[in-house]
């Protein structure tokens, strides 16, 4: 029995499939299968119920999970305590929201590599809902995203808040002055996809004004939303700090509203029991590096 076998078994059982474990461990599926078979031979028991399509553990497999997890955590703790940050190794799967990737993410990546030279990063930019799902099922070690991840086994670290504002092309013909949700509801809105924090926040803003938006077109990024709004195809919600040039050159104009759109809070979240010892410390690095507005 060796560490690789236990690690492979742990992730196959946690993620529910050999293919997911192979992706997590950067190994082939045949390698993952062989490690598990070898482990079963050495222990003399079946660890997975092969009558099921998913990788479901047997009673003995569930018993082994406890010991495998304990050993993996002990190894991670040993590397962190004895060797320091320079000895910490492995892959850190980091999920990020677009707002972070277009602002201070490059600086964070640079500092991570300086402090943890043996850690390899796998960056995953996605919508918040997708990031939370991947984090919850163990596919990501930590996420940098708006809102809070539910549950008691996480350690969210505040990253600050970002101001968002309604914007449209000056040629779009929207009235001047302060607009209410009722005024804005008749105009086509451009938002990120329906599963996004962006879309949900927009719907909530209209709902608090006791109205609903009559038409919301969706796209996958702030860049696309900005481009569509600049072309006079709708009004959208964007962070002014990232679109100063478009506002200055007249491609977009800020629309004053009552109430103003509330600032969006961001957090770095890692699992309390993460197998990647660097995850918790990197959430603290993210807080230091974040240039979002803080108290």
Residue 231, in any domain of the structure: yes
Question: Quick one: which of 104, 93, 158 has its CA closest to 131?
Answer: 93
Q: How far is CA 162 from the centre of its chain?
A: 17
Residue 53, in any domain of the structure: yes
Q: For the segment 137-166, what is each residue's pLDDT rounded down to a tens digit?
A: 878 889 999 988 877 678 899 999 999 999
Name the percent of the chain lying above pLDDT 90: 54
**Torsion-angle region of 145 (φ positive above 0: left; ψ -120 to 50: alpha; else: beta):** beta
> What are 189's strand-pairing partners?
216, 235
Residue 248, in any domain of the structure: yes
Which stretches does DSSP call E strand in 147-204? 154-162, 165-168, 189-192
Instruction: Note down the domain range covering 62.
Output: 3-83
| Token pair for 224 | 């696309």
Given a contact cutoff of 8 angstroms between Cβ atoms, the answer to whether 137 and 217 are in contact is: no
CA dist., res. 207 & res. 152, Å (int): 30
Tell me which of 34, 52, 83 is where a domain ends.
Answer: 83
Co-location of 45 and 108 in the same domain: no
Co-location of 156 and 200 in the same domain: no
Please give the backbone phi and psi of residue 9, each rounded to the nearest 5 degrees, phi first.
Answer: -60, -45
Q: For the segment 63-122, what is each residue's pLDDT rounded down to a tens digit?
A: 898 888 788 777 767 766 665 555 566 788 899 999 999 999 999 999 999 998 988 899
Residue 9, in any domain of the structure: yes
Residue 294, in any domain of the structure: no
């Amino acid at each position: 029995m060796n560490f690789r076998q236990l690690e492979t078994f742990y992730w196959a059982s946690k993620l529910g499939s050999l293919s997911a474990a192979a992706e997590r461990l950067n190994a082939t599926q045949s390698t993952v299968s062989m490690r598990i078979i070898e482990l079963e031979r050495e222990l003399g028991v079946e660890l997975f119920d092969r009558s099921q399509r998913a990788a479901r553990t047997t009673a003995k497999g569930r018993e082994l999970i406890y010991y495998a997890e304990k050993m993996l955590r002990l190894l991670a703790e040993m590397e962190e305590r004895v060797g320091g940050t320079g000895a910490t190794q492995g892959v850190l799967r980091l999920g990020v929201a677009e707002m972070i990737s277009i602002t201070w993410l490059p600086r964070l990546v640079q500092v991570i590599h300086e402090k943890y030279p043996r850690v390899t990063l796998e960056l995953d930019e996605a919508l918040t809902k997708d990031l939370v799902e991947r984090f919850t099922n163990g596919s990501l070690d930590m996420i940098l995203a708006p809102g809070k991840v539910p549950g008691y086994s996480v350690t969210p670290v505040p990253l600050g808040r970002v101001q968002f504002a309604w914007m449209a092309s000056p040629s779009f013909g929207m009235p001047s002055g302060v607009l209410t949700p009722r005024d804005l509801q008749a105009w086509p809105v451009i938002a990120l996809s329906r599963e996004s924090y962006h879309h949900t926040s927009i719907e909530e803003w209209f709902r608090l004004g006791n109205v609903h938006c009559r038409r919301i077109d969706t796209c996958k990024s702030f860049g696309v939303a900005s481009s569509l709004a600049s072309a006079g195809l709708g009004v959208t919600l964007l962070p002014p700090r990232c679109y100063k040039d478009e506002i200055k050159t007249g491609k977009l104009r800020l629309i004053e509203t009552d109430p103003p759109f509330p600032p969006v809070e961001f957090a770095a979240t890692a699992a309390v029991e993460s197998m990647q010892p660097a995850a918790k410390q990197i959430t603290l690095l993210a807080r230091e590096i974040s240039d979002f507005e803080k108290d």
